[in-house]
Structure 1
């Protein structure tokens, strides 16, 4: 019985290492809105994730309490929203020096083979300040439920207004936020002030 040398073993394994493995399911980012509430957003809706210093935000008078102000980055000016307050929870973000922020596209780009987020001048961007960004994960379509059967009693009515589906393959159902619905509501709030 002849043993393979390390070089021979490496040569036989290299094609497996560099061969693309098909991955099924959609990518999501998990956000902790307040310590007891976690939601998700499709990764395709996200343009950027960053830490924003409170001193970089320009407060705007006469705006709803959920609007922290305007923020400028990479040539874009956009609203920064306290997601907890917007969804009807008590905010945990008052008097902080920095915010964990997810910049979302109001109209998500189409799926493509290129996973690199890009923006163009026609996109509307919204910054969502959250308690904590927990990371990304992949979920197969079979674990996503669009019906809200039994979910209404588990979440607030404000949050329910922006949820279209739930991820079921977690300890408890994980709501998926609809960014377009949120943008529509923000426009309505802006026009009312």
Structure 2
């Protein structure tokens, strides 16, 4: 087969006409996930260090820390803080920590890592950059952390909001 002069050019009788051409995805790869109230959010895959499910007893509470922080966990020898993302963003529904595992997204920027505890992990998907819109009806507590949103399937009530993980990591809210 390799000795066939048409192998590298894609010409020849051995290529089936039924094979579909692979399409190049458009946009950027994002992880979609949900807060306890059902709000769907997304983070760019480039800023995510790891996605994991952690038993609540592996997250060690730290006394006198910000109420936004659930505690710390050991990520392959590195201790990282775990925050309740919903509470940080002002989500009205509390995160259920009384379950077998809590989904945590570890985000990173310039060697700063923070675990974001969420309600449910969604899927990875290519979200087209040219279809991002200015956010609508975003609560004031979330506004500064939302870059924009994608309206899904033409329903203006159903959207995926894009978060800025750098603004979350560098927020002054952690000091309170």
Task: State TM-score, norm by structure 1.
Answer: 0.73
Could you tell me which runs of 5 or more consecutive residues in structure 2 were left unpaired when the two chains were aligned: 1-12
Offset of residue 58 of structure 1: 1.3
Offset of residue 55 of structure 1: 1.1
Instruction: Count residues in correspondence.
Output: 160
Q: Distance in 2 between matches of 1:34 and 1:11?
A: 53
Q: Deviations over 1:147-174 (max 9, x none)?
A: 34xx1xx222111121011123444232
Task: State TM-score, norm by structure 2.
Answer: 0.80
Within the candidate set 127, 131, 136, 2:124 is matched to 136
Matching residue of 1:182: 168
Could you tell me which runs of 5 or more consecutive residues in structure 1 were left unpaired when the two chains were aligned: 1-9, 108-121
Q: Moved runs in structure 1, 4+ residues, more than 3 A?
A: 189-192
Within the candidate set 28, 31, 45, 1:29 is matched to 31
Matching residue of 2:10: none
Offset of residue 49 of structure 1: 0.8
RMSD of equivalent CA atoms: 2.4
Offset of residue 134 of structure 1: 0.9
Alignment of 1:12-161 (within 5 A): 12-13=15-16, 21-89=23-91, 90-105=93-108, 107=109, 123-145=111-133, 147-148=134-135, 151=136, 154-161=137-144
Q: Distance in 1 between matches of 2:14 and 2:81?
A: 53
Higher helix share: 1
Higher strand share: 2
